[in-house]
Amino acid sequence: MIEIKNVSKVFGSRVAVDNLSLNIESGIYGLVGQNGAGKSTLFRIIAGVYDIQEGTVEIDLHTSTTTEAKKLVFFLPDDPFVDRNDNIKDIYDYYSCFYEFDEERFVSLIDKFSLPKNVAISKFSKGMKRQTFVCLALSIKVKYLLLDEAFDGLDPITLEVIKDELLKAKEEGKVIVISSHNISSLEKLVDTFVMITKGKIAQNDTSETLGTNYVKFQAMFKYEVTEEALRNVGLDVVSFKKYGSIFNIVVMDEENIEEKINKVAPTTLLERIPIDAEEIVKLNMMVARKVYGDEDK
């Protein structure tokens, strides 16, 4: 288990991670949050790239900066360094100095994506470079995989293949933490969503509980209503949008919502509609901004 306890990291006057605590036990975790929320910093703290200023990070009871802990983790940064002339074999040789590899798997993955083995990686497209490093990450025999913006620049077909491989890795007992801006790409893959805002955990949901605190309505009113009017009847409105005469309203779940809405104005249409993962995460971000403020953005 990765046990993060009250970790803080400050760069100059900017607090990147603020007294954050989190346990990463099993399955696939999706780390989501706005730009600059502290996702990459958190990854780097877990991987031992950054020294910790406050708090502790333990990986299977080893402090994250020790060699024993690092043996258990592989961190794939959003922009991994590669020397100008290095090809796939060179990076394999380099990483195999430090990690145990499943060579067969690496070769089969490289072949699956038809990546050229003798061409310098610096000449690859962004997506190809990403594929190469994801193949590398999936072939390294470690318990924990930290993938920062792992799906950035991947086409939908490659993305599906990689998601299948990640699910296979999960079945093998690996614990995977992925951060991505593309929230829809994490759908049907991630077991637990962890939302970070301003270096703090804003929400920690399993895929079953994700979004259960929100209710989304599609409504038509007999006359014009405002967000303010809905708030006045005691509803905690998270999102209020109007498309023609149809209103899409998201409120925090509570009792008698329909009754309260009808109090504002009689409706000709009022039905609950499902919310997808991407929208839930966006809503979470909006709520987090309200709670933690928005002065940085």
Partner 1 sequence: MKISNFIKFQLKKWAPLFIVLAIYCFVFGVIFNSLLFIRGRSFIPSSALFPTMIIPSFVIPFFVFKEQFNKNMADTVNAFPANKYQLNRIKILIGLIFIASLSFFLHICCILNSPGDYSLNYFLGFLFSTLSLCVLYLLNCTLTSLGNTFINSCLYVSSGCALLFGFIPTLFVIFNWEADLGLISTFGGVVGTYFILLQVEAGSLMMATGYIVLFIFVYLIQIGVGALAFFAKQPSGEYYGVPGARNKYHKAIIYSAIGLSHIFIGAFLGRLSVSLSSLASQLNLTIYIVAFIYSYILIVIFDKKFKISKKDWIILGSIELGGLLFRIILSLIY
| Interaction site with partner 1 (CB under 8 A) | 11, 44, 47-51, 65, 67-68, 70-71, 73-75, 77, 79-81, 83, 93-94, 96-99
Strand positions, DSSP E, the chain: 2-11, 14-24, 28-33, 54-59, 62-63, 73-76, 144-148, 175-179, 192-197, 200-206, 214-221, 237-243, 246-252, 267-273
- Token readout for 172 is 């093998």
What minimum distance in Å lies between the beta carbon of 99 and partner 1? 7
Instruction: Please check whether residue 5 is in contact with residue 56, taking contact to mean a CB–CB distance below 8 angstroms.
Output: yes
Closest residue by Cα to residue 131 from 116, 146, 144: 116
Closer Cβ to partner 1, 97 or 157, answer by number: 97
DSSP classification of residue 101? B
Closer Cβ to partner 1, 65 or 204, answer by number: 65
Closer Cβ to partner 1, 84 or 222, answer by number: 84
Phi, psi dihedral angles at 43 (to 5 degrees): -60, -45
Beta-carbon contacts of 241 under 8 Å, excluding residues fewer than 6 positions away, are: 247, 248, 249
The CA-to-CA distance between both ends of the chain, in Å, stands at: 34
Instruction: Please check whether residue 170 is in contact with residue 27, taking contact to mean a CB–CB distance below 8 angstroms.
Output: yes
What minimum distance in Å lies between the beta carbon of 169 and partner 1? 18
| CA–CA gap between residue 152 and residue 258 (Å, rounded) | 41
What minimum distance in Å lies between the beta carbon of 245 and partner 1? 52
What minimum distance in Å lies between the beta carbon of 48 and partner 1? 6
What minimum distance in Å lies between the beta carbon of 195 and partner 1? 23
What minimum distance in Å lies between the beta carbon of 85 and partner 1? 10
Closer Cβ to partner 1, 2 or 183, answer by number: 2
Closer Cβ to partner 1, 80 or 252, answer by number: 80
Closer Cβ to partner 1, 49 or 161, answer by number: 49
